[in-house]
Chains A and B, each alone.
Chain A
Amino acid sequence: MAERFGVLWFPGWPVTAWALAEAEDDSAPVAVLVANRVTSCSTAALAEGVLPGQRRREAQSRCPQLRVIAADEARDARCFEPVVAAVERLAPGVQVIRPGLCALRLRGLASYLGSELEAAETLLEAVATEVGIISGRFGIADGLFAAIQAARAGDPVLRVLPGGSPDFLAPLPVARLGRPELAELLPRLGVRTLGEFAALPVPAVRERFGSDGLRLHTLAGGTDPQHLQPRTPPPELTATLSFEPPLEVIEQVAFSAKATTEEFIGRLTAAGLALTEVRIELTSEVGEVIARHWLAATVFDAAAVIDRIRWQLQAASGGQLSSPLARLRLEPLTTDEAAHHVPGLFGLGPDERVHHVLSRVQSLVGPDQVVTVRLSGGRWLAERQQLVAWGDRPVATARREEPWPGMVPDPLPGSVFIEPKPVRLLTSSGRPVRVDDRGRVTDPPVALGVGQRTLPVIGWAGPWPVSERAWDPQRARRADRFQVVDGEGTGWLLFTDADGCWAEARYD
């Protein structure tokens, strides 16, 4: 036996939602327009001859006092939420098909209240008393499609008897299938009603309209393959905190946020969840919003979240926030089963302990000063070692496996300067070593000056050209590398470019 569906439909929902949101009167002629065409209108406008699908000018010529409002899907969805909540209190497992239209399984509620009609009346009444919307209509039938059609015909309730869906659907026009191209084509082929469409043989429909047409053919026949996917109410895990008066000092914010953050983590823990990624949103008094995603190396506790709030504020106080902080919002983005993160009796795992201490050091010296290293590709030593702040995701980098022509031969130097250090590589005449257009030194180097000291050069090799991104004038880089050993036996990896001579690394 096919499943019994109940569908609750609110005609002209965008207008109702607008009236609810703006506390306006929807008994006046009102129409919602998308791309200059009416998508829905109030009953008063309907009475004046305004119809969905009309152009703005046409609608206004029928009804000069028509009030035109812009469509807003977010508003429609937002205003529908209390309706769904009201229905959900009586019958769990509601599926929202779109704002203004939702479906539910009726069996439980109907057997509880005695009959399907009784259940429908009860639900409509609940919406009317709790949300104050009386325009609702209810349809009951076998299958979702038939139930939706029943709701459209409901006044306010229409019940199609079990097994009666095909007969109920048969006289309806094919436009009800919701496919404009079919609604135009089928009547030209002499098929005007759903019944006539359903009567067509299956192979003919498949041949002409493909698998999508075949699905519609089943719908028109009153057998609906669709199942209800009940929505599960999301737990209210997001935490919001308003500061009144707005706060200016970071420590004040951190202190005030303590209780809320602990409660936020507490609610997650109570739900059996461990927080691994959180979104922190800061809103200033004048409405600037600064949001950032934070990722935990293992799992966030309250203190770690407060640290992140503090860091985000520190970063933002540099200029992104021009006024005191008015609101703080914490939203869990990804969570994990809390059971995966329960410490054992024999201490925390060693790595867990490392994580705790590193987080503490991060709050001491700053989040970017506690780093791990990932090797990546590149021609320059400093860019081959990528520093990743503890707890951050490493950003995608150049592939290490690729050949990097111009890379330094092994063994690698023992000290790498993240910022190249200015040095002086001099010829016998005391002038800087230069590389000519053919890639040769004009005069060999004889002295190397680092800081105040100048030492003789006892061995050198080069120049080894390094040319990067020659195709991109903005990022192109051209330099010549040298290996040099100074009079004290220290090896240097140097390069000369247009700006001078630099030490990239030291062999020590």
Chain B
Amino acid sequence: MKAAFAVPSSASSAELLESLRAQVATAEARVRQQPFGLDPVLAGLLGEPGLKPGAAYCLGASGALLNVLLAAASAQGHWCGAVGIPTLAAEAAAAAGVNLERLVLVPEPGEQWLAATAALAEVIPVLALRPPGRVREADAARLAARLRDRGGVLLVAGDWPRAEARFTIGSRSWQGLGLGHGHLRSQEVQVSVTSKRYPSGRTARVLLPAADGRLQAIEASSPLRAVG
């Protein structure tokens, strides 16, 4: 049987160590193909157990949705990053469950947004990105290759060519606020996910954020039944 790792015989010990490290790193990347955690309601809409490594997902501008997606991956111990999102609400993210010690922000990368994202994708598996303008197909393809290689996932707050799925927030209504009294308690929204699997999209009504800052499913009210 062939050895799993080819070891050059004439290399110095330092080179040998280096090549072994490189091979181990590739092997590590190969085995890490587990999906990233996702809230069960959203997973149901997506029709997958979680976010697929190597894929890009489009979200709208909703900060609460981004926080919920980051929180699920962060809860598994993954590092998270956000590029070009200066408005990221860290306190709300922490309330949603994001571990701030494993969160890195590049608030305003300017022209270097693509280079910074590509570099971060090396080590940070969950990256949120708000591209400053239209993204060229070629750039997206290069970043996609890097993501597939490292098994990372990209959450784009904006448009992205060839996204795996698209999360959109439809009709929404805030509860708790009247005219001159009360305060915002929770928001009822309609989340729809269109994916390659469900091109027409699937929709659910959820509280986002609920009073505790997280996502909460709304139990479908049972239709009235005639009794007696």
Contacts and interface: CB of A to CB of B under 8 A. Distances in A.
Interface of A: 343, 345-347, 350, 353-354, 356-358, 360-361, 364-365, 369-375, 381, 384-385, 387, 390, 409-418, 441, 444, 459-461, 483, 485, 489, 491, 505-508
Contacts of A354: 79, 104, 123-124
Interface residues of B, number: 61
B171 A414 contact: no
B177 A375 contact: no
B76 interface: no
Given A491-B174, A505-B89, A507-B187, A364 B115 contact: yes
Interface in B107-147: 107-110, 112, 115-116, 119-120, 122-124
B177 A483 contact: yes
B92 interface: yes
Interface in B183-213: 183-187, 209-213
B104 A390 contact: yes
Contacts of B172: 489
A357 B120 contact: yes
B89 A412 contact: yes
B211 A411 contact: yes
A461 B89 contact: no
A418 B211 CA distance: 24
Nearest to B111: A365
A90 to B, nearest CB: 42
Interface string B13-39: 000010011001100100000000000
B67 A375 contact: no
B133 to A, nearest CB: 17
B45 interface: no
Contact of A381 (B89, B116, B122): B89
Interface of B: 17, 20-21, 24-25, 28, 61-67, 79, 86-92, 94-95, 100-101, 103-110, 112, 115-116, 119-120, 122-124, 171-174, 177-187, 209-213
A343 B18 CA distance: 11
20 contacts: A354-B123, A357-B120, A357-B124, A361-B116, A361-B120, A369-B109, A372-B100, A372-B101, A373-B100, A375-B100, A385-B89, A385-B90, A410-B95, A410-B213, A418-B86, A459-B178, A485-B174, A489-B172, A491-B184, A505-B89
Contacts of B209: 411, 414
Given A507-B187, A508-B61, 13 more contacts: A356-B123, A357-B124, A370-B106, A372-B100, A373-B100, A381-B91, A385-B90, A410-B95, A411-B213, A413-B63, A416-B89, A444-B180, A460-B180
Nearest to A441: B180
Pick from A347, A356, A414, A418 the residue with the most CB of B within 10 Å. A414
B105 A412 contact: no
A365 B116 contact: yes
Contacts of B184: 409, 411, 483, 485, 491, 507
Chain A interface main SS type: mixed
A489 B20 contact: no
Contacts of B171: 489
Contacts of B103: 372-373
Contacts of B92: 411-414, 416
Nearest to A446: B179
A508 B177 contact: no
Contact of A345 (B24, B88, B107): B24
Given A345-B20, A415-B87, A417-B87, A461 B183 contact: yes
B176 to A, nearest CB: 9
Contact of A414 (B62, B122, B124, B210): B62
Contact of B64 (A361, A364, A414, A459): A414
A314 to B, nearest CB: 15
Contacts of A441: 180
Contacts of B91: 375, 381, 384-385, 412, 416
B174 A459 contact: yes
B112 A365 contact: yes
Given A354-B124, A364-B112, A410 B79 contact: no
A490 B136 CA distance: 30
A361 B106 contact: yes
Contacts of A371: 104-107
